[in-house]
Homo-oligomer: A and B are copies of this chain.
Amino acid sequence: MKQSIKPRPQIDLLADGILQGNRMMLSQAITIIESNLAEDQKLSSGLLDKIIHATGNSIRIGITGVPGVGKSSFIEAFGKYIINLGKRVAVLAVDPSSQLSKGSILGDKTRMEELSKNSAAYVRPSPAGNKLGGVAHSTYETILLCEAAGFDIIIVETVGVGQSEVSVKNVTDFFLLLMLAGAGDELQGMKKGITEIADALVITKADHDNVKHATAAKAAYQQALHLQPLARSGWIPGVLTASAHTGEGIGEIWKLILSFTEQTMSTGFFHDNRRQQGMEYFEDRFKSILYSEVENSPALQAEKEKLKHEIQQQKISPTRAAEMLLIAFHREAGMRKF
């Protein structure tokens, strides 16, 4: 048989580049990780193995809020503030529009423009997961890559839609919820469940005529949060006002995050939580690749369609159909080599 001489992807080179903070190689690696091609997925785990020892040394911050709350402006102001403290910041912006365009281009190119140009910052639009505004499986791995590339602060931004906040919470240390003052109880109430998982609530656009409103909203939320059960972390969520425009409150938010990490590191929660997140990612990933063997097998897909048809005709129960698909799965798996 003729030996294949097609150029092998330079995993070692890529890993070295990332560990040296090479942003172009980081981008390349993230693209590989986001790809669903079997070949790329193989590369991904090889790459992750080579950088895994250099991960974990960041603060992972999830930021969410409804459209119009000023997420981009806030992240830009906050990012520049911590860069001035000598930190390096990576922003993974989960872009729901990518769902529609089937790509991962940030529609509005002017978003976080200044931050994007800063050499201490790395802004990367991330493809949304299955659901609008969701977090893709690759987000967890992208965080690891950014840590290996030396970023001290990883911000995962998501639009406040559906279950996305929960997914962001599952891959971050600190969860920050941005809110508008005076947007009406109607609007705020709908996002109320999230306040229970937030480590801080920030009332944005607290400038000019809006300061009074924002201060009132802050007091109202402090009151409301008071009624919530204490979080597993033992941390009492902070409520702050901020303005991306005047810079008001940005420093306080950073201080709050630092006192959160200090407190939760001393209680052990910080690392316990990270460990648990890693274990959950492992389990989710396993289930996902296990199930994708069914999705990727034409024979099993045909079997599945046949079974669905029989369920519809009430010939078999969904329970029995599931068992029959499992038998087909093992038959099929037994015919392949591992």
Contact = CB atoms under 8 A, between A and B. Distances in A.
Interface string A96-122: 000000000000000000000000000
B186 A317 contact: no
A156 interface: no
Interface in A274-319: 275, 278-279, 281-282, 285-291, 294, 307-308, 311-312, 314-319
A44 B316 CA distance: 12
B287 A44 contact: no
A183 to B, nearest CB: 13
Nearest to A166: B163
A44 B190 contact: no
Interface string A140-172: 110010000000000000000000000000000
B185 A319 contact: no
Nearest to A271: B312
A319 B189 contact: no
Contact of A289 (B56, B323, B334): B323
Contacts of A230: none
Contacts of A49: 316-317, 320
Contacts of A13: none
A22 to B, nearest CB: 20
A24 interface: no
Contacts of A185: 185, 189
Contacts of A322: 282, 285-286, 288-289
Contact of A282 (B285, B286, B288, B311): B311
A317 B53 contact: no
A38 to B, nearest CB: 12
A2 interface: no
B52 A290 contact: no
A135 interface: no
Given A189-B192, A286-B326, A319 B279 contact: no
B45 A311 contact: no
Report whether over half of chain A's contact residues are helix, strand or loop; otherwise say mixed: helix
Contact of A317 (B45, B315, B330): B45
A201 to B, nearest CB: 15
B189 A188 contact: yes
Scoring A45, A186, A281, A311 by chain B CB atoms within 10 A of each residue's CB, the highest score goes to: A45
A52 B278 CA distance: 42
A279 B291 contact: no
Interface string A5-40: 000000000000000000000000000000000000
A77 interface: no
A272 to B, nearest CB: 11
Contacts of A141: 317, 319
Interface of A: 44-45, 48-49, 52-53, 55-56, 140-141, 144, 185-186, 188-190, 192-193, 224, 227, 275, 278-279, 281-282, 285-291, 294, 307-308, 311-312, 314-323, 325-327, 329-331, 333-334, 338
8 contacts: A45-B319, A48-B320, A186-B227, A192-B192, A275-B312, A278-B311, A281-B318, A286-B322
